[in-house]
Amino acid sequence: MRKPFIVGNWKMNLSLKEAVQLAGDIKSESAGVKNVDIGICPPFVFISSVYDVIKGSSVILGAQNVHDEDGGAFTGEVAGFMAKEAGCTYVIIGHSERRHVFGETDEFINRKLKKCVSIELAPIFCVGEKLEQREAGKTNDVIGEQLRNGLKDFTADAAGKLVIAYEPVWAIGTGKTATPDQANEVHAFIRDVLSTEFGAKVAGDMVIQYGGSVKPDNIKELLLQNDIDGALVGGASLKADSFLSMIKTADSL
Ligand code: PEP
C-alpha cells in the first residue's frame, strides 16, 4: 500500500522569517494528519532554521538539489552529506529547472542519484517532457529515456529507495495542469518501465508523485488516479493555507 507523499518545493522564494513561519504553521496544523507523508524543501540557507522548527514532528525536510561529489572546488554547490547533516532526509534531483535552466544532463543526474542512494539521502527523481515533445507524440520516449539514463546501473534494491516525480515541463508554474487521465497515463507508463527494469514488486511499491500546477482545487482528482501517489508542489506550497488544504484533502481520501 503506497502512502501519499506531498512535498512543497519552495524553490528560490521566501525570506527567512517567512520560511520559519510557514514551516511552523505546517508543523502545527498537520499534527493530526495520519494518512499522508509531508515534506518541505526550503532554499539551502534556510534549511537549518527550518529544521529547528520542524524537528520532532512528522514533517520531512528535503533539499532542492545536491552535487554528486563529496567535496572540492565546486563553488556554490552543496554535497549530499552536507544536506543530510543539516537535517534533510530527501532531495529533489533532476527537476526540470535544473535540467533546462542549469543544463543538467541525464549522466550528471545519474551520478547524483547514485551518490544520494549510497549515503541514504532519498532522491525525489523528476522526469517530464516539454510541450513540443508531447505535441510530437514523444512523451513516452522522453520519459522512458530520462528514467533509463537516470537509473543506469541501479540495482532493484537501490531503485526502490527512490521517489519518482512526473512533472510535465509545460505544466510547471504555468497554471496548466495535466488532466488526471493524461497524468495517470504517464504514471502507469513510468511504473511499467520501472517494472521491466526492476521487477513488479519494486515498481508496485514505489511512490510516483505528480507535479505541475497542483492546487487545492485539482489535487483530489489527481490523487484519485490509480498510479498517482502524491504531489510535488511549487507555487501552491508557499502559503500555509493552500498547502495544508491539499494535505487535508489527501488525508481524507
Ligand atoms: C515544482 O516546483 O516542481 C512545480 C511543480 O511547481 P508548480 O506547482 O508551481 O507548477
Q: What is the DSSP string of 133-146?
A: HHHTT-HHHHHHHH
Residue 2: what pLDDT?
Answer: 93
Residue 122: what pLDDT?
Answer: 98
Query: Atom 6, ligand 1: which residue's CA is nearest?
Result: 234
* Residue type for position 30: S
First-to-last alpha carbon distance for the chain, in angstroms, is 14
Which of 97, 129, 167, 187 does the annotation list as catalytic? 167
Spell out the residues 6+ positions from residue 21 whose beta carbon is closer than 8 angstroms to its own.
Answer: 240
Nearest alpha-carbon partner for 194 in 152, 159, 227: 159
Q: Which mean pLDDT values do the consecutive 10-residue runs of the chain (253 residues) have?
A: 95 98 96 95 98 95 98 96 97 96 96 98 97 94 98 97 96 84 96 97 97 95 96 97 97 93
Q: How many domains does the chain have?
A: 1
Please list the residues that pair with 167 across neighbouring strands: none
Provide the sign of the torsion angle of the four alpha carbons 121, 220, 238, 55, taken in this order.
negative
Asked if 123 contacts 98 with a C-beta cutoff of 8 angstroms, the reply is no
Residue 246 lies in a domain: no
Ligand 1, atom nearest to 95 Cα: 3
Domain of 19 in residue numbering reads as: 5-239
Q: Which residue of 214, 217, 219, 222 sits with most ligand 1 atoms within 8 Å of its CB, as the best mutation to test the pocket? A: 214
Residue 136 lies in a domain: yes
- For ligand 1, whether the C-beta of 9 sits within 6 Å is yes
Q: Note the maximum CA span of the chain.
A: 48
Residue 174: what pLDDT?
Answer: 83
Read off the CATH number of the domain in which 196 is found: 3.20.20.70
Q: Which residue of 6, 7, 11, 95 sits with most ligand 1 atoms within 8 Å of its CB, as the best mutation to test the pocket? A: 11
Residue 233 lies in a domain: yes
Residue 250 lies in a domain: no
Residue 48 lies in a domain: yes
Helix (H) or strand (E) holding 91: strand 90-93
Which of 95, 104, 129, 187 does the annotation list as catalytic? 95
In the residue annotation, 95 being an active-site residue is answered as yes
- For ligand 1, whether the C-beta of 94 sits within 6 Å is no
Residue 92 lies in a domain: yes
- For ligand 1, whether the C-beta of 126 sits within 6 Å is no
Residue 176: what pLDDT?
Answer: 80
Ligand 1, atom nearest to 211 Cα: 5
Residue 109 lies in a domain: yes
Ligand 1, atom nearest to 96 Cα: 3
Give me ligand 1 centre to Cα 19, in Å.
17
Ligand 1, atom nearest to 235 Cα: 9
Residue 224 lies in a domain: yes
Asked if 234 contacts 13 with a C-beta cutoff of 8 angstroms, the reply is no
